[in-house]
A and B are shown apart, each in its own frame.
Chain A
Amino acid sequence: MVAALSVILLFQLAGEVVSRAAHLPLPGPVLGMVAMVVALSLSPRLNALVRPTAQGLLQHLSLLFVPAGVGVVAHMPVLAEYGTALALALVGSTLVAIVVGAVTFTLVARLVGSRADD
């Protein structure tokens, strides 16, 4: 687990360094993730090493949002003032985006003859 965690942290570290050095819009951890996808595809050994730790961490992914979520206490005035605007923006955009995404997927899949296997 220590080895796996070290590898994960090193990928994040490399991502942060590259993101800052090259002034990229991608956050360091996202770059680290992209590099990790490539590395996992190239090395089954790395895959076997990282997988259990990664799955363990991802199982509790929602716990990790809690500290930032509690930050809502610092934004009560903004939320009170713009509550309706934000609520409408969130509900509207999320529902429209799901429909647009699902319809686009279905139409393009039909167009290129890509079928689900189940």
Chain B
Amino acid sequence: MTDAALIWSYLASEPLLWLSATLVAYWIGDTLFQKAGRTPFANPVMIAVIVLALVLWATATPYAEYFEGAQFVHFMLGPATVCLAVPLQANLRAIRRALLPILAALLAGSFTAVASALAIAKALGAGPELLASLAPKSATAPVAIGISEALGGQPTLTAVLVLLTGMIGAIFVTPMLNLLRLRDWRARGFATGVAAHGIGTARAFQVHDTAGAFASIGMGLNAVLTAFLAPLVLRLFL
């Protein structure tokens, strides 16, 4: 074997290479996102995923081998979900003050997100596994991935659908709600957090602080509700 081949076989057998690649790709994505004036079109995760997918394709690396290294980053999704308790608890007072609107909007928004996605996909020919992967897509990624697994979906497909959902929400929310002349920042933020999780929440914080705070409440509550709702609604469509 040549030196280069020896080095490559070392790198291919250790998690270091793909762990580093994941961080660097995200770094590139985040830099481009900042440079582009934080437009929701230049989502850093989407950029990182495209960069890594191209690198895997160019080096003919199977996803399983990539994941050997990337799993250390992936693992942190669980602890990060637990950490969502911190902003949620900090907002408990705001939640109590608007309890009824929050509960009503949570139920309506969450149910609409799951049911309308399943109805459209089923009408266009999607099968059970695809529907199971799609059902939890409005919940924040770590939760959605867990739900998808439990429902017999494809967790990695769910991750991509979650990502796209967030981007769609972040791109359209402001022009759409302006058009409808909805001016309550709490309502705008909350609905965005419920339907478009963390990416929508990040967008809401850019637009208005109150919208951001209510978006993180919406995201946190919908993480819990989707876990109950997605299996029930999915049963209606199978």
Contacts and interface: CB of A to CB of B under 8 A. Distances in A.
A29 B143 contact: yes
B159 A90 contact: no
Interface stretch (B4-12, B34-42, B172-180): B172-180
B49 A72 contact: yes
Contact of B169 (A9, A15, A94): A94
B113 interface: yes
B146 to A, nearest CB: 3
Q: Which of A102, A108, A114 has the most CB of B within 10 A?
A: A102
Contact of B86 (A40, A86, A94): A40
A88 to B, nearest CB: 5
B132 interface: no
Given A64-B142, A82-B130, A75 B81 contact: no
Interface string B140-173: 0111011100100011111111111100110011
A61 B141 CA distance: 10
Nearest to A96: B116
A70 B186 contact: no
A69 B163 contact: yes
Given A27-B143, A66-B22, A88-B124, A97 B83 contact: no
B49 A32 contact: no
A53 B85 CA distance: 12
A75 B120 contact: no
A27 B146 CA distance: 6
Contact of B82 (A36, A55, A88, A89): A36
A93 B113 contact: yes
Contact of A36 (B74, B85, B106): B85
A30 interface: yes
Interface string B114-152: 101110110011100010001001100111011100100
A29 B78 contact: yes
Contacts of A53: 83
A59 B206 CA distance: 15
Interface in A57-85: 57-58, 61-75, 78-79, 82, 84-85
Given A41-B89, A71-B63, A109-B187, A97 B112 contact: yes
B228 A9 contact: no
B16 interface: no
Contacts of B88: 33, 37
Given A72-B156, A101-B105, A105-B186, A41 B92 contact: yes
Given A72-B49, A98-B173, A116 B56 contact: no
Interface of B: 22-23, 25-26, 44-46, 48-49, 52-53, 56-57, 63, 66-67, 70-71, 73-74, 76-89, 92, 97-98, 100-102, 104-106, 108-110, 112-114, 116-118, 120-121, 124-126, 130, 134, 137-138, 141-143, 145-147, 150, 154-165, 168-169, 172-173, 176-177, 180, 182, 184-188, 190-192, 194-196, 198-199, 202, 210, 218, 220, 223-224, 227-228, 231
Closest CB pairs A-B (n = 4):
A71-B156, A101-B109, A101-B191, A27-B146
Interface of A: 5, 8-9, 11-12, 15, 25-30, 32-34, 36-37, 40-41, 47, 50-51, 53-55, 57-58, 61-75, 78-79, 82, 84-86, 88-106, 108-109, 111-112, 114, 116, 118
